[in-house]
Chain A
Amino acid sequence: MAPQVAKKDLSTHTLRYAVRLGDDALILGQRLSEWVSCAPFLEEDIALANVALDYIGRARMYYQYAASLSPHHKSEDDFAFLRGERDFENYLINELPRGDFADTIVRQLIVDIYNFHYLSALRHSKDQALAAIADKSHKETRYHLRRSRLWTVRLGDGTEESHQRMQRAIDEIWGYTHELFTQDSLEQLLVEKNIAVDTASLRTQWFTDISATFQEATLTLPDTEWAIHGGRKGYHTEYLGRLLSEMQFLHRSYPGCQW
């Protein structure tokens, strides 16, 4: 039986959940935006900027909703710019450096398949604001997934070099995927309230989908199993601190200013 939660507590939990989802979107969007002017050709500069824009836009929607639940009149920028490394609760996979194009495509495939199923479920959340954000985001993710799947197949089944780069990227990132399917008590509670998504239930479908794409791309799942967790508890890699230092420096240098 679901534990009894006071209405005020539920709102606080939902706020924190929305901020987490915002963190996932913002950190990945920030990473993707690093590709602008660095992509293999001009069309990709534009496409990667587009995906980055979708993610940053998504972060803004989650943060704005969280701000509306906040009793302290917070703004979207307060969440993005005035919290430190230990306050961010994004999954670690989002903060990893952009790496080469293979690293980016593999991360996008993992995240896109995950989001495809995640947002599909979140569309049915009892929380109408989250459901509405999920509905809009799911349309974007469908397009992101088409892109990352096609690139995975092209690069996996392209040249010897592209195949090797893709396989290396998979091997290096795989341990970060497990965290996507584990949830802390906050999210479990919100799952019971039909507000959050039960990520453990998505794992089989996610695995089936990604295996099928890897097979088509002549890529293999890694032999070794290692797993790293911590993002949802605010335990991060060193990469996040550097990302935040750059992202937040101007905002923090001039406290209270309008831009």
Chain B
Amino acid sequence: MLPQTPKKTADTEKQKRALFQRKIDAGQKIEPNEWMPSEYREMLAYQLTQKIYTETIGMQPESCWVARTPTLQRKVILLAKIQDEGGHGLYLHGVAETANIPREKITADLHSGKNPYSCLLDYFIQTWGDIGAIGWLIDGAAICIQVSLQRTSYGPYARSMIRICKEENFHQRQGYQIMIALARGSAEQRKMAQDSLNRWYWPALMIFGLPDDQASHLKDSMKYKLQLYSNDTLRQKFIDQTVPQIEYLGLEHPDKNIKWNEERQHYDSGDIDWNKLSSIVKAHSSCHARPRLQHHRKVHAEGSWVREAQHAYRQKQIQRKLNAAA
């Protein structure tokens, strides 16, 4: 094959980019073996890695309540939910592999601190009400994002989201059901519900990321349809849907000044502390002692002998077959 001239390469790159963008604009999916611009690949890798951490690290905070659920039915529901999160982690690892991001690298980058995960996952889950609030608000916020990602431009990612959304809807429902039971329960249970709502409402708003005017990758991300709606649009959707849910529970809204804006046909938030929100979203790897990361490292190290044994056994089996054939 003849060497290409630099000009020709530049032209080809330009043409490829134009073709790629046309495909995206036409709503077609990008599949694993297709050419893609390096920044698209990078943004995709970042998003997938973050989602994988959210699912797999996200198993930890809730698993600390499995042993203490108030009923057996709640125990099986919570266990099944956490199991789903692990399953979502696996689907997304599968998606990442199609984009040449091996699982070992994702784990190694987590452990080395190279890739941060949302510090929201390091918040402590103090009460049973928190389990309800997390399912309802945190998973509820995540669903707002994930529903739109069913139409994201990377094919395997979009398809995994369809399945993930089905299960996430169940997660949100179980969280809300916990809140209903508490809100209709004794005075103490009601207090527990209000306390959890007050503590988890604001962090749920962080899930959507920085305000649009501060989110540096938003424009590119939307151009490539790796994100379908802006951070603020999705956050507003969540704020709007949560108001009647709080009313139904008969609890007080944590935002004392939230009010309906007839002109915008949306709720105006009163008390969002944007500086605090931004600092928390930005802080990522440095906000905290990172107990979930420490736990993940510890468990990974403790399990190394099992993984080594599995590998050694497989090697022995291969060798035995070869010996038998010889």
Residue ranges of A at the interface with B (Cβ–Cβ < 8 Å):
26, 30, 33-34, 36-46, 49-50, 52-53, 56-57, 59-60, 63, 76-77, 80-81, 100-101, 153-155, 157-159, 161-162, 165, 246-247, 249-251, 254, 257-259
Contacts and interface: CB of A to CB of B under 8 A. Distances in A.
A76 B90 contact: no
B86 A46 contact: yes
Interface stretch (B5-13, B66-74, B134-142, B254-262): B66-74
B79 interface: yes
A44 B306 CA distance: 11
B248 interface: no
11 contacts: A36-B59, A36-B79, A37-B295, A40-B302, A40-B307, A154-B313, A246-B67, A250-B68, A250-B128, A258-B185, A259-B185
Nearest to A57: B76
Contacts of B73: 60
A155 B305 CA distance: 9
Interface of B: 56, 59-60, 63, 66-76, 79-80, 82-83, 86-87, 89-90, 93, 128, 178, 181-182, 184-186, 188-189, 295, 299, 302-310, 312-313, 316
A40 B79 contact: no
A257 B59 contact: no
Given A37-B63, A39-B303, A40-B302, A154 B186 contact: no
A24 B55 CA distance: 32
Nearest to A252: B70
Q: Which 3 A-B pairs have the closest CB atoms?
A: A40-B303, A158-B309, A162-B309
Given A36-B59, A76-B72, A49 B305 contact: no
* SS of B interface (majority): helix
Contacts of B312: 158-159, 162
Contact of A259 (B59, B70, B82, B305): B70
B67 A259 contact: no
B72 A80 contact: yes
B83 A33 contact: no
A158 B312 CA distance: 5
Nearest to A105: B306
A157 B299 contact: no
* SS of A interface (majority): helix
B80 A53 contact: yes
A46 B313 CA distance: 22
A22 to B, nearest CB: 10
Contact of A46 (B83, B181, B185): B83
Contact of B68 (A76, A101, A165, A246): A246
Contacts of B308: 158-159, 161-162
A259 B186 CA distance: 10
B302 A100 contact: yes
A42 B90 CA distance: 8
A52 B56 contact: no
Given A36-B59, A41-B307, A251-B70, 18 more contacts: A33-B67, A33-B79, A36-B83, A40-B306, A42-B89, A46-B83, A49-B80, A49-B86, A59-B72, A63-B72, A77-B71, A81-B70, A159-B308, A247-B67, A249-B68, A250-B69, A258-B185, A259-B178
A101 B303 contact: yes
A42 B72 CA distance: 25
Chain B CB within 10 A, most for which of A34, A43, A251: A251
A29 to B, nearest CB: 8
Nearest to A157: B313
B305 A162 contact: yes
Contact of A36 (B63, B90, B178, B181): B63
B82 A258 contact: no
B71 A251 contact: yes
A50 B86 CA distance: 11
Given A37-B295, A50-B83, A154-B310, A60 B76 contact: yes
A250 B70 contact: yes
B60 to A, nearest CB: 5
B306 to A, nearest CB: 4
A23 to B, nearest CB: 13
A257 B185 contact: yes
Given A33-B66, A41-B307, A45-B59, A259 B71 contact: yes
Contacts of A161: 305, 308-309
Given A33-B66, A36-B79, A254 B188 contact: yes
A155 B67 contact: no
B166 to A, nearest CB: 17
